[in-house]
Structure 1
Amino acid sequence: MIVEQIYTGCLAEAAYYIESDGEAAIIDPLRETKPYIDRASEGGAVVKYVFETHFHADFVSGHLDLAAKTGATIVFGPTAQPGYEACVARDGEEFTLGKVKIRVLHTPGHTMESSTFLLLDETGKETAIFTGDTLFIGDVGRPDLAVKTDLTREDLAGYLYDSLQSKIMILPDKVIVYPGHGAGSACGKNMSTETTDTLGNQKRFNYALRAQSKEAFVEEVTAGLMPPPQYFPKNAVMNRLGYGNLDEVMQQGTQSLSPAAFEAAANATNALILDVREAQLFAKGFIPNSINIGLEGQFAGWVGTLIPDLKQPILLVVPEGKEEEAVLRLARVGYDNCIGYLNGGFTAWQTAGWEVDKIQSITAETFATLFEQNPNLPVLDVRRKSEYDSEHIVGVENLPLDSINENMARIDKDTTYYVHCAGGYRSMVAISILKARGFTNLIDVAGGFSAIKQTNKLPLTNYVCPSTLL
């Protein structure tokens, strides 16, 4: 028996490959199918099942394409209502995979169809659980992502408590926990950087499993939940009803366009120009009105947070050799309408003599000197509210990047703002969005708050300023 975790850091997502006696199962695959098919081929195995723990909200799963290419059966837990052919299993139903079995444990709470898959080895011993978003290492799934339900998050948290107590906590301590996500995912709030553990350790150290009552559990799990990114329910619907073929999405998105063709496509389709280069490289020159979301950061999550329409036509400006990666990472979160990329990148655009724009960027040291001279300097801190509350420059305003579209009207177009985040990634995203909307008086602070703090020049506080833009 082989069990392998296939972890994708940019989404903090874990898929799983299980193989026994020439048969393989994939649990919660990402959109691309090649890694799983190649792995099965490497082991001389046939992919028999694709198990889905629930209708994922934070990414588009690869179950449909994988089943179509391998002939595997898609398996969901009880109450799932997929809009395509799949097996909706009974609670307790077992599926034979070579010499092992996989038992379905219905564990509603994160969503109502959420299920955990219990792996029984060749001797029938309870060996591992694949918990999806029911149980994480150090946390449990947030109870506010279910679609098509009248249940409150408190109701769902109550179901989650019952599921954990009746289905998970009764299992042996030596059972290995394989969760669907790790630290960095928005599907929980307290996940560990570890991506596996024993159930016994989780019983001892996971705050949610140590709750003394259902009431205490509900209160603790629902406390401090931030609203999920706007694309979450849209991805959940795609996973439930179906979606387009990834091969076709990739073929369309990786069309190479000359600068002239790129400009013509932008004008004809009203496409969003998405520049995925590194922030400071973008600042030195970019196509007017393009948005910068760098591939080196939490790219997919920020795209999903900041681009409201999954069907938005997108044209890419991308470093050479990164074209397929950019299109794939867009497709992983449901942005299937990329219509091509700029051949030769920004250099080709510039060489062809087309119009360019720039963003002024200053060092943290220069910024600190300016702030010392004028403590009323207009500054926008675009970190998350929790980061801002933890520590910020005295008197500055907080405009979290994830709510910038809703709060744009509160910014004065005639005022020159100095914009910073934690390290420089998000501030460039924010400035590019604002510039595309007509805000021209924006100056980036390179290196962000971490660099500002190292200057040791400015007064810092964890006091929440009354003028904070929420």
Structure 2
Amino acid sequence: MVAVEAFPARELGNASFLLADQDHGVGLVVDPYRDVDGYLTRADALGIKLTHALDTHLHNDFATGRGELASEAGTAIGELDAGQDLAFGGATLRALHTPGHTPDHKSYLLVEDGRPQALFSGGAVMVGAIARTDLFGPHLAVHLALEALRTLQVRLRGLPDDLAIFPTHGSGSFCGTGGRSGHETTLGHERSTNPFFLTTEVMPFLARALNQQRFPAYYRDMAGINSVGPALLGRRPAPPRKLSASDVDWLMAEGAAVVDVRRGRDYDRGHIPGSYSIGLDGPFSAWVGWLIPRGRPIVLAGGTDSQHADAQRQLHRIGFDSIAGALDGGMDAWQSSGRTKSTFETKDVEDMAEWILSAEPMTVVDTRDEHEWAAGHVPGAVHLYVPDVPYRAGEIPSEAPVAVHCASGYRAGIAASLLEQAGLTRIIHVNGQYSDWDRLHLAEVHP
């Protein structure tokens, strides 16, 4: 019997899957990340040999680990063509052509004792959604959306309702179209609840599939990297090099980006001037990849050794390997070296309500995406989605305080650091849920 174990990458909203047949001593990985030590350690514990690594599609959001597993475990690196079967222990894995998210997308059907048991669906079926169809550009978006419709209504038609579905993309993935959290469902549940299954007419389906938020800038070259294969890291890459405050100063002068990995509130209390606030408590790698060009040296700061190692791992997953090192000793080391720190004011929405009602001069900056803004916003606020801040910060008046908010405080913290880089000085980082603005009757809602 084949057991399935998920390996989530929460910062990406993804999961990869280890399939283990202990009776036959073999295992394989579907959609592996580039950091492969977790799979290898688990395989050793189960007493199995990893024989294959398969990708469901050419990924735009992370670097494939197939080459890494071939190097470290000797897994086969060949592709399965659509319709081809792979004998795996006592089971069979069949490649199904399920285009939509990408033109050549495949899902893998696990068959045991002649009966379909599970489908590893990549982005063809998500929990409550499908993966987006516009990553290859607007010229293919409609065609791929139509292919996604055919996949749901025709290509998967003959599969049973009780079939387990294990999607790679999940809620929180910029590759997704929304949906619910989780990386396991059944085909029957999705057929009865997933709006993309329930939308069978072409025009409503296209309207739903193509009305998506923007995606991170690093996606543009990720498919090219995966088509040739990223550089090999080895099973356990060395941790980030420890840097002194003077090292960090010099690297910044040479053009390195300093990324502070702490929570926003901790960053607000004191940080390296000109650094980025991108905490590990959110989609860290996606925002680094959106805001910092690939190849620019990155210095990690603010965290513990283990947090810096985690940050490096997450960056390796998206093919960002130019990690110059990490500040040793945190902000204490920075300040004890005699260097200055910057601070932001931190306020909750309740505090902002008093300020707004007092009519004192202030600019409110809403850093949510276009869909969120259109659904409702604070009257008089300036809309600057986070990726636009570096290019439009000059539109913000510098005479009055600038209060930066989003839906939770995470993106607002990133945007606040970008505004500081642009030269603004009195910045207020607003924490709390966007619903708090509505609760206090300070937001307009647009149904």
Shorter-chain TM-score: which interval? Answer: over 0.9
Q: Is the contact made by 1:11 and 1:300 (CA closer than 8 Å) also made in structure 2?
A: yes
Length, aligned pairs only: 443
Q: 1:38 to 1:305 in 2, by over 3 A?
A: same
Deviation at 1:363, TM superposition (A): 4.1
CA shift digits 1:50-73 (9 cap, x unpaired): 010011111122111111111101
- In structure 2, how many angstroms separate the alpha carbons of the residues matched to 1:137 and 1:446? 30
Q: Aligned residue for 1:132?
A: 122
Q: Provide the aligned C-alpha RMSD in A.
A: 2.2
Selected match of 1:73 from 66, 73, 76 = 76
Mapped contact 1:254–1:324 kept (Cα < 8 A): yes
| Segment of structure 1 superposing worse, 347-356 or 188-197 | 188-197
String of CA shifts for 1:403-462, please: whole Å, max 9, x gaps. Answer: 3234333223344322222232222211111111222232223436455556x3x53212
In structure 2, the residue matched to 1:296 is 281
Which residue in 1 is equivalent to 2:443?
460
- Tell which deviates more after alignment, 210-219 or 340-349: 210-219
Q: Please, which of 32, 37, 40 is the counterpart of residue 34 of structure 1? A: 37
The one-character-per-residue Cα deviations of 1:147-169 (angstroms, maximum 9, x if unpaired) are: 7xx94211111222223333212
Aligned residue in 2 for 1:6: 7
CA distance in 1, matches of 2:360, 2:376: 17
User: Does 2:106 correspond to 1:115?
Assistant: yes
Distance 1:226 1:175 in 2: 31
- Shift in CA distance, 376/270, structure 1 to aligned 2, threshold 3 Å: closer
| Aligned counterpart, 1:336 | 321
Q: Do the aligned partners of 1:382 and 1:421 also contact (CA within 8 Å) in 2?
A: yes
The equivalent residue for 1:51 is 54
What secondary structure, in the 3-state scheme, does the structure 2 residue paired with 1:11 have? coil
Contact 1:391 1:460 in 2 (8 A): yes
What is aligned with 1:219?
207
Query: Does the 8 A contact of 2:196 with 2:205 survive in 1?
Result: yes
Paired AA for residue 101 in structure 1:
T
Task: Report the residue type matching 1:228 in the other structure.
Answer: F
The change in CA–CA distance for 1:386 and 1:262 in structure 2 (over 3 A counts) is same
TM-score, structure 1 normalization = 0.88
Where does the alignment leave 5 or more consecutive residues of structure 1 unmatched? 75-86, 465-470
1:118–1:126 Cα contact (<8 Å) kept: yes
1:329-371 CA-to-partner distances (Å, cap 9, x unmatched) read: 1221222101101111111111111122222233433322221
Q: Any idea what the Cα deviations from partners look like across 1:209-246, whole Å, max 9, x if unmatched?
A: 22334444333322x22222211122222211222222
How far 1:112 sits from its partner (Å)?
1.1
Residues 275-326 of structure 1 show CA distances to partners (whole Å, capped at 9, x for unaligned) of 111212111211111111111122122212222x111101110322312101
Cα separation, partners in 2 of 1:212 and 1:341, compared to 1, 3 Å = closer
CA contact (8 A) 2:128 2:190 kept: yes
Q: Which residue of 1 aligns with 2:85?
A: 94
Q: Please give the alpha-carbon distance, in whole angstroms, between the structure 2 residues aligned to 1:400 and 1:184.
A: 17
- Would you say the 8 A contact 2:257–2:297 is kept in 1? yes
- Say whether 1:146 aligns with 2:127: no
> TM-score by structure 2 length?
0.93
Q: 2:367 maps to what in 1? A: 382
Secondary structure of the 1:30 match is coil
- Name whichever of 42-51 and 7-16 sits farther off: 7-16
Structure 1 CA distance, aligned partners of 2:115 and 2:431? 55
Contact map agreement 1:423 1:451 (CA 8 A) in 2: no
Structure 2: gaps (5+ residues) = none
Q: 1:414 to 1:377 in 2, by over 3 A?
A: closer
Aligned residue number for residue 262 of structure 1: 248
> Cα–Cα, structure 1 residues 450 and 216, in superposed 2: closer, same or farther, change >3 Å?
closer
Is the 1:250–1:324 contact (alpha carbons within 8 Å) kept by the matching residues of 2?
Answer: no
Identity of aligned residues (%): 29
- Cα distance in 2 for partners of 1:172, 1:449 equals 41
2:298 is equivalent to residue 314 of structure 1: yes
Return the letter of the residue paired with 1:16. Answer: F
- Measure how far apart 1:392 and its partner are: 2.6
